[in-house]
Amino acid sequence: MILQTRAMRVMLATAGALAAALWITACQPAQQPQQQAQTDTQSSAQTETNLVERGKYLVTVAACDECHTPFKTGANGPERDMSRRLSGHPQGTKLSTPKFGAKGWAVAIDETGTAFFGPWGIAFAANLTPDEETGIGIWDEQMFINAIRTGKHWGQGRPIAPIMPWHNYAQMTDEDLKAIFAYLKSLPPIKNEVPELIPPPGTKTE
Ligand code: HEC
């Protein structure tokens, strides 16, 4: 918010006529309003660019891609498919039912690197691109902050499966979370309907 100040002059004058003349002069705007508006637009565009850049940096170092960007087969084996960056578990992937046999093992990850089998059932990494139907297109900043801070689906629903390290990300500052959200919103929207969490057998659903 930019507070526009105008040159305000308080005149202490004894002659009434002189005071009136000076008062009129003092009321002229100090800066051309159009010029001021232009400067404001330029600086807010710059602030937005900085925010998106900061968000990109945070998403990269906080390793969101590790779960939210699917794998493809590259020249040297599996690699993250950055053309589908952060679009979540690919729609239509055929998965067999995972079985646990090996003692002491708790989690299995599918070959796309985006589905996680564990005590919570099977969780599928969400589509974080701004597609309106399948991604976070209709989310607002507050929903995003609530989801990360409280570990609740859509910021208010069921608990998010603990494989999503929200406890760690909840420690980020509001500024960091806002920057991440701004970056996610700047991504190309990718239509990809991620399946809902499959709870473990025997779980009561609401
Ligand atoms: C270790 C894997 C992993 C990492 C790393 C990870 N996520 Fe997630 N995330 C998931 C999974 C799995 C889900 C789906 C959980 C569910 O359905 O309960 C999810 C869900 C989400 C959701 C949707 C919450 C909702 O309302 O359902 C958001 C938003 C999100 N992640 C953001 C991020 C961001 C931002 C980062 C990086 C700062 C990140 N995630 C890093 C695995 C991960």
Closest CA to 120 of 106, 100, 99: 106
Does 202 fall in a domain?
A: no
Could you tell which of 54, 60, 68, 177 is best to mutate to test the pocket of ligand 1, judged by most ligand atoms within 8 Å of the CB?
68
Residue found under tokens 């001021």: 36
What contacts 159, CB < 8 A, 6 or more positions away? 151, 152, 153
Does 130 fall in a domain?
A: yes
Q: How confident is the model at residue 33 (pLDDT cuts 50, 70, 90)?
A: low
Q: How confident is the model at residue 21 (pLDDT cuts 50, 70, 90)?
A: very low
Q: Which domain holds residue 180?
A: 61-92+109-186
CB 94 within 8 A of CB 106: no
Does 25 fall in a domain?
A: no
Higher pLDDT, 14 or 113: 113
Does 9 fall in a domain?
A: no
* CA pair distance 69, 71, nearest whole angstrom: 7
Q: What is the pLDDT of residue 203?
A: 78
Does 167 fall in a domain?
A: yes
- Give Cα separations from 75 to 80, 112, 203 (angstroms): 12, 16, 42
User: Does pLDDT of 7 surpass 50?
Assistant: no
Atom of ligand 1 minimally distant from the CA of 153: 26
Task: Report yes or no on whether pTM surpasses 0.75.
Answer: yes
Does 101 fall in a domain?
A: no
Give the count of domains, the chain: 1
Q: How many CB atoms lie within 10 A of CB 150?
A: 14
Residue found under tokens 């498919």: 81
* CA pair distance 79, 18, nearest whole angstrom: 79
Atom of ligand 1 minimally distant from the CA of 169: 38
Does 80 fall in a domain?
A: yes
Q: How confident is the model at residue 41 (pLDDT cuts 50, 70, 90)?
A: confident
Does 114 fall in a domain?
A: yes
